[in-house]
Amino acid sequence: MPIAQEEARAALHHRIVANRFVAVATVIVIALTVYFWFREASPSEHTLRMTAGDPLSHRYGLAVYLQEEAAKHGLKIEITDTAGSQEALSMVAAGDLDVAMALGDFDIPDEHLRQVAVFNTEAMHLFVKPEFLAGGLQGLRGKTLSLGATGSSSHKMSRRLLEFVGLHAGRDFTEIDLSNNELMNLPREQLPDAIFAITSLPWVEVGERLVHKLGYRLMDLPFGDTVALRNPSVHDFVIPAYSYGIEPPVPDHPLHTMGQRLLVVANRDTPSGAIERLMSVIFESEFGRRARLPSLTPATADDGNEFPMHAGAIKYLHRNEPLIKADSIDKLENLRSFLVSAAVAIFLFWRWQKRRNLIGFETYIDAISELEMAALKMENTGFVDYAELHRMRVRLSELKSEALERAAEGVLRGEENMSSFLAHVADVRNYLDSLLSREPQPPADERASRPSLLHEPNSLQETDNR
């Protein structure tokens, strides 16, 4: 096998492997890009399990509107009944539901809850029988009070409010926990003296019946700012005069009470794509108009920040921002400089590695020097093997031809040694020729019977012609 052929094949093999690797990596990158682009671009149907509390609450009606609009935009919403916000938040946190319309509550800092949007403020209502209106909260001692269904924010907040003013269940009043449906089905004589509820204005499902058919009135609860010191999810809110009636006026003056923001809350593991679709329905469909929420805009989605924002909500809110912001230009410029420097360094390393893998002229120079040293040793010992000298002469020509072919193919380094290499070849050829000139000639009859070297494919003359 010619000298350095193994090295040449190895270098060629490395280049082929590297090119195949680059080609495979390029195909993989293109395939992944196309896959993710189509996955983002192609419409997909999502299903969300959602609750809005009691079916007779105002927010449940909002959920129905949202469900109807979502169906038009490839989003299926399955509504589940719950007692109230406390139960709803617990179920979302546990993963039993994906989304809930619920009142904010800083007492549930569950790490699995994420905020999606803010709809409006729901107000604490205290409906009382007319004869107890003048006495305020203290006038409710010894009376029967409905604080709302267990598991609702109404039950939790009303109990805390009563304890704040010194009224305790079982000691100062009789507590009954009724859902809206149970409340509506009670006979008149069994109705409680006062009814707490947190709902949007006006509460047409139950509140208007309590006022117009059963004669209840609304009582002031001017403790919003005070309660907010202990629970940031609460703030002062005003129920406008005449909200529930004009003759008689109910209330007959602007009524201070406590308000809580109605939030859309999701489990943090709810798919971002589904949350983005939900937000587009909330803010871009007919939902806001049908739900009579004129102030509903994406700008209010993170009001209050009672829970961290969901990743899908963040993505939706930033959907229209430019890919490159003004404050990112400097960072991009620094990145560009770094990438250019890195590219130059990689290119130089590649050139160095490529040249390092090339076969050098010195390999052939060494091989020719070995032929010269072998001939010199033969001469010094006084025993000259002329047949071996002929083989060495042929081998010299083969090395020269092989080196020139490799140089033409670009797989030899050290091209500046070309002239030295050719001069060395010429010197060794002359030396071998001088030794061969001493070869004894056979008798004339023997020379005539022996085939001429001119017709041998590996003869010296043919080699020289090459």
**Three-class HEC string of 403-444:** HHHHHHHCCEECHHHHHHHHHHHHHHHHHHHHHHCCCCCCCH
d(CA 20, CA 14): 10
Residue 228's pLDDT band (cuts 50, 70, 90)? confident
Q: Is residue 314 scored above 60 in pLDDT?
A: yes
Residue 454's pLDDT band (cuts 50, 70, 90)? very low
d(CA 23, CA 15): 12
- DSSP states of 70-131: HHTTTEEEEEE--SSHHHHHHHHHHTS-SEEEEE--TT---TTEEEEEEEEEEEEEEEE-GG
Q: Is the separation of the CB atoms in 138 and 297 below 8 Å?
A: no
Q: What is the pLDDT of residues 354-411, one digit of tens each?
A: 555 455 667 788 888 888 898 888 888 888 888 888 898 898 898 888 888 877 776 6
Please state the rounded mean pLDDT for residues 171-175. Answer: 94
d(CA 273, CA 75): 10
Under DSSP, the state recorded for 291 is: T
- Return the pLDDT at 123: 93
Tell me which CATH homologous superfamily contains domain 121-262: Periplasmic binding protein-like II (3.40.190.10)
> Over the range 365-390, which residues count as b (16 or more CB within 10 Å of their CB) and which as e?
bebbeebbeebeebeeeeeeeeeebb
- Return the pLDDT at 39: 58
Residue 327's pLDDT band (cuts 50, 70, 90)? low
- Taking the CB of residue 282, how many other CB atoms lie within 10 A of it? 24
Residue 9's pLDDT band (cuts 50, 70, 90)? low
Give CA angle at 345 (343, 351), nearest 5°. 100
Q: Smallest Cα–Cα separation from 164: which of 137, 132, 201?
A: 137
Q: Is the separation of the CB atoms in 333 and 159 below 8 Å?
A: no
Task: Give the global pTM.
Answer: 0.60
What spatial distance separates the first Cα and last Cα of the chain, rounded to whole Å? Answer: 19
Please state the rounded mean pLDDT for residues 96-104. Answer: 90
Select the more confidently predicted residue: 456 or 288: 288
Q: Is residue 466 scored above 90 in pLDDT?
A: no
- Return the pLDDT at 460: 33
Q: Is residue 254 scored above 90 in pLDDT?
A: yes
Highest mean pLDDT among 28-42, 224-238, 351-365: 224-238
d(CA 421, CA 75): 78
Top CATH class of 46-117+265-317 equals alpha beta
* Phi, psi angle pair for 53, to nearest 5°: 85, -140
- Return the pLDDT at 459: 38
Please state the rounded mean pLDDT for residues 93-101. Answer: 93
- Return the pLDDT at 351: 64
Please state the rounded mean pLDDT for residues 243-250. Answer: 90
- Return the pLDDT at 68: 94
Report the C-alpha dihedral over residues 178, 184, 190, 194, rounded to 10 degrees. 60
Q: Which of 12-26, 156-170, 308-322 has the lowest mean pLDDT?
A: 12-26
d(CA 459, CA 446): 18
Residue 145's pLDDT band (cuts 50, 70, 90)? very high
Highest mean pLDDT among 184-193, 303-312, 442-451: 184-193
- DSSP states of 352-406: HHHHHHSEEHHHHHHHHHHHHHHHHHHHHHT---HHHHHHHHHHHHHHHHHHHHH
Q: Which long-range contacts (CB under 8 A, 24 or more apart) does 319-323 make?
A: 319/276
Instruction: Map out the domains of the chain as residue ranges.
Output: 46-117+265-317, 121-262, 326-355, 358-465
Highest mean pLDDT among 9-13, 110-114, 330-334: 110-114
User: Which residues are CB-neighbours of 182 under 8 A, at least 6 positions away?
Assistant: none
- Return the pLDDT at 389: 86
